[in-house]
Amino acid sequence: MPAPSILQDDEGWVDYSYINHYVANDVVVLCAFDDPDADARAADILAEAYPGRTIELVEARDIFAFGGGIHCITQQQPQRPGKPD
């Protein structure tokens, strides 16, 4: 998987990555970084890896700015012990 070509933003170095994507029933949600060529290459690679699924690009720079990616923010939260469903 290629890396985005964007290495810095207004704040400094960034750690953008296409690896942090989310696979659901008929879709793969893929981070996008306003890097058209790299975003498209990553989408093409995942389309080959996940035939039959739609690849949805989602702008992820703000998500990464707060310390995560698409896969990170889709994780389940554990229930507090003793709290009913």
Three-class secondary structure assignment of the chain: CCCCCCCEECCEECCCCCCCCEECCCEEEEEECCCHHHHHHHHHHHHHHCCCCEEEEEECHHHHHCCCCHHHHCCCCCCCCCCCC
pLDDT (tens digit, 9 = 90+) per residue, 40-62?
Answer: 999 999 999 999 999 999 999 98
Residue 85 lies in a domain: no
pLDDT (tens digit, 9 = 90+) per residue, 2-34?
Answer: 889 988 888 888 889 999 899 999 999 999 999
Residue 77 lies in a domain: no
Residue 53 lies in a domain: yes
Number of domains in the chain: 1
Residue 80 lies in a domain: no
Active-site position among 58, 72, 73, 74: 72
User: In the annotation, is 31 catalytic?
Assistant: no
pTM value is 0.79
Residue 24 lies in a domain: yes
Residue 50 lies in a domain: yes
Residue 36 lies in a domain: yes
Range of the domain at 17: 8-70
